[in-house]
Structure 1
């Protein structure tokens, strides 16, 4: 039996760290999409204000496996 997966792009932001932004994005995707199987960090950026980093942002490619049509 073969599996088919779909990839969706999302953006996640955290004031703590890149890791927290990734974790938050994956957790949010898993709450909405079934069968999330992985994620790829496609882009990382920071927001700077008055010379200091105030936020971390990531763009994620999230992969989820599509369900069989007989379910």
Structure 2
């Protein structure tokens, strides 16, 4: 697994769960990025609406491997 990696931060949200927010963010990132390999949940928080959790939010770091310039 040697190579060089770059990371980005994203925020995912879901009305269902922290896990769903995480999966949604990774799925969305994969639509426009290649070589995603790692994730780290940096923060979790929720929005309270009407004395209940109305939204789950996760801040993620996603790492992707940089492609080699070799032809």
TM-score (norm 1): 0.92
- Could you tell me which runs of 5 or more consecutive residues in structure 2 were left unpaired when the two chains were aligned: none
Number of residues of Structure 1 aligned to a counterpart in Structure 2: 70
1:1-71 matches, within 5 Å, as: 2-71=2-71
Aligned mates of 1:28, 1:39 — CA distance in 2: 13
- Taking only aligned residues, the RMSD between alpha carbons, in angstroms, comes to 1.0
- Could you tell me which runs of 5 or more consecutive residues in structure 1 were left unpaired when the two chains were aligned: none
Deviation of 1:70 after TM superposition, in Å, equals 2.4
Deviation of 1:29 after TM superposition, in Å, equals 1.1
Structure 1 ranges of 4+ moved more than 6 A: none
TM-score (norm 2): 0.92
